[in-house]
């Protein structure tokens, strides 16, 4: 555990330094400490993906680049010794938070290693060794971020890394909660009470729900995906995230890293890009910067896999071309004047389009029907979700119909309904349909959407609590 804490600290310090260049430290020091580890992990993953794709077979390459950027950000924002002491204090808080979470999670939950976990472990440990090549079919079967964790783990003398990805995902979810509360709750006292209440509810369900509890010790990428997808959503509803040059790059990279968390991550990244570009206020310069930050590394990584031409268990050259094309569409629609209005409507278009495609599969494919019925069975009976979806599913549906309209409601609906439809469509087109049980891939992918369903309910409640005389004139605190 000491070595895993050391690795987590190294990544946290890197992320902490990079965040100095953003507006987060001055707007929300708490969010700064929470997001330090997720940001460090995101940059480390992106840099290593580029390095490996360019035949730089050294796991430390991403770490060196992470610290090079962190040092540059720290040096360019240096404002004297007094400010340096404050920053050092915030860094100690961030490191302490990460250390405590690692110790608590490892003490409460034993590691869960499945066949996929062992394959991830062996493939990740091969990276950086002479036997590693980019033409390995296993790179088309397991996601880059979790492989990267196992690769760097060997450098730090770890047999495997389970809890660091879990804590990274938890902190990304915590950061999302902070952003959403600041966006939809007013005054701040209400936001603090709401955050505390949400953590209590989350804690109760996490303790009593096996499907949630198991993710705390599962060697896979589901906690990472749940965390970064919810963080991507919070960026999409925080409009000031692109008001500054570094804001555009920072936001784009945190959205783009979703592509490396799951092999179908490109599809979820595309949903996020459709959502963020639905805001019609982007200049061409901002679109170019955000697109470059989001898509450069995925294009390089998946482009290299495409060139190698291998077919894995999950993706093939054809699916890579399709997913990359879908990922480029949001930026292209937002760039040109004659398609810009369509870009504003894309959350609705995407949701309706996915619904139509799914309905077509239901009418023409028995596998689609079987997979959809299995998803329903797992959610409410056989997937070890307990009362989670029985509780929050109906609440979310009622609030969609009868709840107050919230800002960027179309974005919320696209990323929740669109994410769910994506999971259903993946079950419709796969060789074998989803299966009953907690270990089914569809059941595990639904976990990615659980945090944003809770955040949607959270945002609805916050909007309903804002006094009517404040709702028109209040300016929400947008932190990213």
Domain segments of the chain as ranges: 2-471
CA-nearest of 187, 269, 183 to 228 is: 269
User: Distance between CA atoms of 360 and 283, rounded to whole angstroms?
Assistant: 37
Q: Which helix (H) or strand (E) holds 463?
A: helix 450-465
pLDDT digits (tens, 9 = 90+) for 204-234: 999 899 999 999 988 888 999 999 999 999 9
For the ranges 138-152, 187-201, 236-250, which has the lowest average pLDDT? 236-250
pLDDT confidence of residue 95: 95
User: Distance between CA atoms of 165 and 156, rounded to whole angstroms?
Assistant: 15
User: Distance between CA atoms of 327 and 334, rounded to whole angstroms?
Assistant: 13
Do the Cβ atoms of 426 and 442 come closer than 8 Å? yes
pLDDT digits (tens, 9 = 90+) for 301-342: 999 989 887 776 678 888 899 999 999 998 888 888 777 778
Count Cβ neighbours within 10 Å for each residue of 135-147 and write b for 16 or more, e otherwise.
ebebbbbbbbbbb
Confidence check: pLDDT of 37 > 50:
yes
pLDDT digits (tens, 9 = 90+) for 354-394: 999 999 999 998 889 999 999 999 999 999 999 999 999 99
For the ranges 54-58, 108-112, 128-132, 149-153, which has the lowest average pLDDT? 128-132
SS3 call for 218: strand
The angle subtended at Cα 19 by Cα 72 and Cα 206, nearest 5°, is 145
List Cβ neighbours of 126 (8 Å cut-off, separation of 6 or more).
132, 136
Confidence check: pLDDT of 68 > 80:
yes
Percentage above 90 pLDDT, the chain = 51
Question: Cβ-count burial of 327 within 10 angstroms (0-12 exposed, 13-18 middle, 19+ buried)?
Answer: buried
The angle subtended at Cα 346 by Cα 453 and Cα 50, nearest 5°, is 80
pLDDT confidence of residue 240: 53
Q: Identify the residue whose tokens are 């093939």.
A: 316
C-alpha separations of 287 from 265, 271, 412 in Å: 21, 16, 21
pLDDT digits (tens, 9 = 90+) for 292-308: 999 999 999 999 989 88
Confidence check: pLDDT of 474 > 60:
no
CA-nearest of 165, 92, 152 to 124 is: 152
The reported pTM is 0.93
DSSP 244: S
Confidence grade of residue 169 (pLDDT, cut at 50, 70, 90): very high
3-state secondary structure 369-394: HHHHHHHHHHHHHHCCCCCHHHHHHH
Please compute the mean of the pLDDT values over residues 99-105 and round it to a whole number. 95
Do the Cβ atoms of 174 and 40 come closer than 8 Å? no
Q: Mutual orientation of helices 317-335 and 337-344 as an angle, nearest 10°?
A: 110
Question: For the chain, what is the total number of helices (H) and then of strands (E)?
Answer: 23, 0
Confidence check: pLDDT of 467 > 70:
no
For the ranges 11-25, 46-60, 186-200, which has the lowest average pLDDT? 186-200
pLDDT digits (tens, 9 = 90+) for 392-449: 999 999 999 988 888 889 999 999 999 999 999 999 888 788 999 888 889 999 999 9
List Cβ neighbours of 240 (8 Å cut-off, separation of 6 or more).
247, 478, 480
């Amino acid at each position: 555990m000491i070595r895993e804490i050391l690795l987590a600290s190294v990544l946290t310090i890197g992320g902490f330094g990079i965040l100095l260049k953003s507006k987060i430290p001055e707007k929300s020091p708490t969010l700064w400490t929470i997001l330090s580890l997720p940001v460090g992990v995101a940059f480390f993953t992106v840099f290593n993906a580029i390095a490996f794709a360019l035949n730089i077979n050294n796991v430390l390459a991403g770490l060196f680049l992470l610290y090079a950027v962190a040092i540059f950000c720290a040096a360019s924002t240096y404002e004297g010794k007094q400010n340096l002491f404050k920053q050092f204090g915030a860094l100690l808080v961030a490191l302490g938070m990460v250390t405590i979470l690692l110790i608590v999670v490892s003490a409460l939950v034993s590691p869960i290693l499945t066949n996929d976990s062992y394959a991830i472990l062996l493939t990740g440990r091969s990276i950086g060794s002479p036997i590693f090549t980019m033409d390995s079919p296993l790179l088309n079967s397991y996601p880059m971020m979790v492989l990267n964790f196992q690769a760097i783990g060997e450098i730090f003398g770890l047999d495997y890394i389970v809890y660091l990805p879990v804590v990274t995902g938890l902190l990304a979810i915590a950061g999302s909660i902070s952003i959403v509360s600041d966006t939809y709750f007013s005054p701040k006292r209400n936001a603090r009470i709401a955050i505390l209440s949400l953590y209590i509810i989350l804690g109760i369900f996490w303790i009593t729900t096996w499907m949630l509890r198991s993710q705390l010790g599962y060697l896979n990428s589901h906690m990472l995906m749940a965390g970064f997808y919810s963080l991507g959503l919070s960026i999409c509803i925080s409009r000031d995230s692109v008001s500054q040059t570094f804001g555009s790059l920072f936001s784009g990279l945190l959205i783009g890293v979703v592509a490396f968390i799951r092999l179908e991550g490109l599809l979820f990244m595309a949903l996020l890009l459709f959502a963020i570009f639905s805001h019609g206020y982007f200049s061409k310069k901002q679109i170019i910067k955000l697109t470059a930050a989001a898509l450069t590394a995925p294009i390089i990584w998946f482009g290299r896999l495409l060139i190698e031409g291998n077919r894995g268990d999950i993706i093939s050259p054809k699916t890579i071309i399709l997913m990359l094309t879908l990922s480029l569409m949001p930026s292209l629609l937002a760039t040109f004047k004659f398609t810009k209005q369509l870009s504003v409507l894309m959350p609705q278009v995407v949701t309706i389009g996915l619904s139509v495609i799914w309905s077509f599969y239901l009418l023409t494919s028995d596998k689609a029907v079987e997979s959809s019925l299995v998803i329903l069975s797992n959610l409410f009976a056989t997937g070890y979700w307990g009362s989670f979806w029985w509780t929050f599913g109906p609440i979310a549906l009622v609030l969609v119909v009868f709840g107050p309209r919230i800002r960027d409601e179309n974005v919320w609906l696209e990323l929740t309904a669109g994410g769910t439809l994506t999971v259903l469509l993946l079950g419709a087109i796969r060789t074998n349909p989803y299966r009953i049980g907690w270990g089914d891939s569809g059941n595990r992918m639904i976990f990615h959407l659980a945090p944003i369903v809770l955040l949607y309910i959270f945002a609805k409640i916050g909007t309903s609590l804002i006094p009517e005389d404040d709702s028109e004139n209040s300016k929400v605190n947008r932190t990213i």
